[in-house]
Chain A
């Protein structure tokens, strides 16, 4: 029931494109008031301390809502550490952390968090596990204690692991019914091949194989202070925050050797064509993808701006074209995702069946144009201001700041990347954006995955030979 379904923090705009229907009419009305002078960009002030056990602590004090946010990022504990036959293992490793500790059972943990006016939980991602907690400001100390308890001493009780596995199997079945889930799995395999980034969704066999002992062992080896960062934001003074963190984590010790670092993901891949059959589907779930680059690699900043232009927000090129001009879809998007040892360029839209081929044609046309033509001055300025605005909008939220700092750290970006990001974006040139288009958005290098009724194959024959799969 919304105008559109994404209110992303990073994104883009167009109008000056030759294809944009509105380019002529989008002359600004004479009576429209101009923008006022921009205020200075606030930069998060981070107080840092590293404990003797290697745990890094960053504190970002804020004066807004009466809440504290804690984010404990554990590097190398996520999917990148999962074995080839352990697809999605890190999800269970993270989720069951809150289902019992040495001291408390699952219910006691949930009730404690509720009573503190907050939440505690954990999730797995490509480059790590994130354990997060929040609470009313006056409950800073007990919530820090609870966070440390679930992060350091999860018990992985047999009964809870069995229940989590049973529910994970059913949830997998439920996910299989969603075309986007199947598309993502196929696309990730096309992009990453055998790399761990390519197998983050669980399989039934992998879930079956999980044991409480395997979870306990993985926790002991993966969740370690010298590979962790704790970010604290909210109504608290830095000294007080560090004191709380030291009390809760100061005697945390690693045991045994740490898992090996993940190898680099590939930077190119054969472009495959796959149609995943979904009989009687009333839409085609169209996805494009190819390898991208790691977050700390050289192209990161221009690549993000190029992503904003092509498909990062409502006003991005693919959305204006496929939605606002053609009416093919509720929303189209495209852009880069970057992780610690690799990345991806992905795009897509869910479109009605009879415009499946036409939609792919428009995606390719926009991708090609990005690498051939310079983005106009006005369009580029618009995107840069959009990125700057996204930074400010996100920066108002203390939890978002904490999470962004933690996720940047997980993927190998320095702590000042967040504060420097907008100035770096402002220096990107149209030539650099075109170079990113040429390097990452060439249609020939894109794999294409379609989930839909096989009748749409006819429309796709100009785009290569599609493998039909269930």
Chain B
């Protein structure tokens, strides 16, 4: 989009010709730590007159209180519900008026707050983020309101939805042993209803200080401008002690875990097959990313070709890395293959097929052409995920939070390129074992007898219904 900077003229043309040969994409990444411990990351890009902002707090579902499942996520909602200075409504009103969009999400190891807007709104965004880092409007009405909203979120995504998120909620509950890793991060309604304003105050005090956060800005500004604005709006927020986290590490599983669930809403069976992954930062991490993509990354992947095509057992094959990606986690995380399978098939056939494909990789490795294709695609996809300024800012903030170094973003393509067939073999042999595997077979529950004709697919009657 530099074409716009250059006044929409012919200069852009020559610039584009010189860039043609290279597929490399290095991001400018500047970091600076304020005296209060807030780490600031700026990635300059003047190709569009906008910014992406991400504030990542180093707390997620693992560290929520024991009798408060779902609290980290409920708390995330409350971060949008006003402060003593900017009451409920101001936050969204200002960002909307600034032409921006905002959102937040809660994951096992972090909680992020993201905005993107025309650069004219940048200072307003930073003011709003700093304001809610200081304190919140601890208000019973907004707490009740968001308890209701979160319950509707859980209904629409879990309780009223076929499969109900079993490929990330239930599978983690079954595969992990420690409470931090195996409780329901969406939370029980009872725990959500029991959440009190004191809980909210304590969580904000303990985990939402500047020293437990990273501020990342990508877009139409310079690092010097970004650092100065960070100092201006965040510099006076005092650091707050953060509780020492518990030890939630756990090793690979040593015995296979298999479960069957009945799903009253689903009409097509599904399976989630999960393995505990290499730890963040281990030498096995990049090979795991390559192996994951080799197995289930798109239509050329081994399992798509082997299960959807080939054996024709499944309708689709998807890969999940917890609720994040191969690079953005800290504690124990699962690589999950999630698939809807045909009623004429069964989970044993799926697992046998997966075992056969993994065994081939363990035995033979990956041929050079396939490995090159997978790596090319993985690197391209990695770039694609950072095209949007907002996604770039967010990734840099997360990497700074989890790895302590946002510049990891520029190292990952090289790590992928460096993966060898032997690396892939080793990782398949070590992690994708039967012992380390957890499987949930999710079957449509038998229909109650007096209901509609059991054999009739719902398609026809529903289609006829609406007139």
Contact = CB atoms under 8 A, between A and B. Distances in A.
Contact of B340 (A163, A170, A190): A170
B19 A63 contact: yes
Interface string B371-395: 0111011011001101111100000
Size category of the binding interface on chain A: 35 or more
A111 interface: yes
Interface in A163-205: 163, 166-167, 170-174, 176-179, 182, 185-187, 189-190, 201, 203-205
A166 B315 CA distance: 9
A174 B462 contact: no
Contacts of B25: 65-66
B99 A390 contact: yes
A350 B298 contact: no
Contacts of A67: 380, 383-384, 387
Contacts of B90: 22, 25-26, 28-29, 32
A327 to B, nearest CB: 3
B193 to A, nearest CB: 13
A166 B105 CA distance: 37
Contacts of B369: 115
Contact of A117 (B23, B24, B92): B23
A399 to B, nearest CB: 8
Interface string A266-294: 00000010101001111100000000000
Nearest to B22: A66
B266 A177 contact: yes
Contacts of B264: 280
Contacts, number: 377
Interface residues of B, number: 125
A66 B372 CA distance: 18
B121 interface: yes
A470 B94 contact: no
Interface string B242-281: 0000000000000000000000111110000000000000
Interface string A1-23: 11110011001110100001111
Interface in B147-198: 147-149, 151-153, 155-157, 159-162, 185-186
Interface of A: 1-4, 7-8, 11-13, 15, 20-23, 25-26, 28-29, 31-40, 42-43, 45, 61-67, 98, 106-107, 110-111, 113-119, 134-138, 140, 163, 166-167, 170-174, 176-179, 182, 185-187, 189-190, 201, 203-205, 235-238, 240, 272, 274, 276, 279-283, 313-315, 323-325, 327-330, 350-352, 381-383, 385-386, 388-390, 392-393, 395-399, 449, 467, 469-470
Q: Which 10 A-B pairs have the closest CB atoms?
A: A389-B99, A22-B89, A469-B465, A327-B148, A186-B466, A117-B380, A13-B96, A42-B4, A110-B299, A110-B300
28 contacts: A1-B185, A1-B323, A3-B102, A11-B96, A15-B89, A25-B82, A36-B119, A39-B119, A61-B12, A67-B380, A67-B383, A111-B300, A117-B380, A135-B380, A138-B20, A170-B343, A177-B265, A274-B465, A314-B101, A324-B145, A328-B148, A330-B152, A390-B101, A392-B48, A396-B48, A397-B387, A397-B388, A467-B467
